[in-house]
Chains A and B, each alone.
Chain A
Amino acid sequence: DAKTTQPNSMESNEEEPVHLPCNHSTISGTDYIHWYRQLPSQGPEYVIHGLTSNVNNRMASLAIAEDRKSSTLILHRATLRDAAVYYCILRVGTGNTPLVFGKGTRLSVIA
């Protein structure tokens, strides 16, 4: 599986935007960029995914670099409930393959 690199931790103030970076310089043409997050003592939760174009949903936005070697998850207004570990994962389409988790970024939100 293509590897991703994320900062170990980040901190944000409540109600401010948060930009979570992810590097994936060895991404292949068939890899989708997935973001999941895990709140304490819970299973991972889907956030967003994309292939080439930027994506928006009710939870977040995903900005993908033109060369696809990096991406950024954007939380527009961080809340205390957004404090979690965020994982950036590459996966080939929706095939029969599992998600392989790296270490992720632990996001702390300060009130």
Chain B
Amino acid sequence: GAVVSQHPSWVICKSGTSVKIECRSLDFQATTMFWYRQFPKQSLMLMATSNEGSKATYEQGVEKDKFLINHASLTLSTLTVTSAHPEDSSFYICSARSDSVGELFFGEGSRLTVL
């Protein structure tokens, strides 16, 4: 089946530093990818839509300058949490839409802990 890989799986960083999370579609091309955030005991919340070669579209309430998204190729999107603070600690999940079949596939998630 289609595979979406996220890296790193988990990361711990100090407050004020920036953290980059990668989302790769390993065996299909994905013009569109989606980024979600999930706090403990809550559901996934859509943060932004990432389109290859263009600016990401952010959901209401998500700061675009804080969560930088780059989708430079058809198989890679990155989410950078800038100047991270403890309240940014969360489980970040990406989803990639297969260009060929239109279905959505999810990465394993990346757990960010900001001290």
Interface residue A29 (Cβ < 8 Å from any Cβ of B) = no
Residues of A within 8 Å of B97, CB to CB, are 96
Q: How many residues of B contact A (CB 8 A)?
A: 24
Residues of B within 8 Å of A85, CB to CB, are 43
How many A residues touch the partner, as a band? Answer: 20 to 34
Closest to B32 in A: A96
Q: What distance in Å separates the Cβ of A97 from its nearest Cβ neighbour in chain B?
A: 9
Contact with A100, one of B6, B32, B46, B111 (Cβ below 8 angstroms): B46
Q: What distance in Å separates the Cβ of A96 from its nearest Cβ neighbour in chain B?
A: 6
Given contacts A43-B93, A44-B93, contact A98 B46 (CB under 8 A): yes
Contact with B102, one of A94, A101, A103, A104 (Cβ below 8 angstroms): A94
Interface residue B105 (Cβ < 8 Å from any Cβ of A) = yes
User: Would A104 and B108 count as touching, CB distance under 8 A?
Assistant: no
Given contacts A100-B46, A104-B43, contact A43 B109 (CB under 8 A): yes
User: Would B49 and A43 count as touching, CB distance under 8 A?
Assistant: no
User: Would B102 and A42 count as touching, CB distance under 8 A?
Assistant: no
Report, nearest first, the 8 A-B pairs whose CB atoms are least far apart: A94-B102, A43-B106, A101-B44, A98-B34, A43-B109, A101-B43, A44-B106, A43-B93
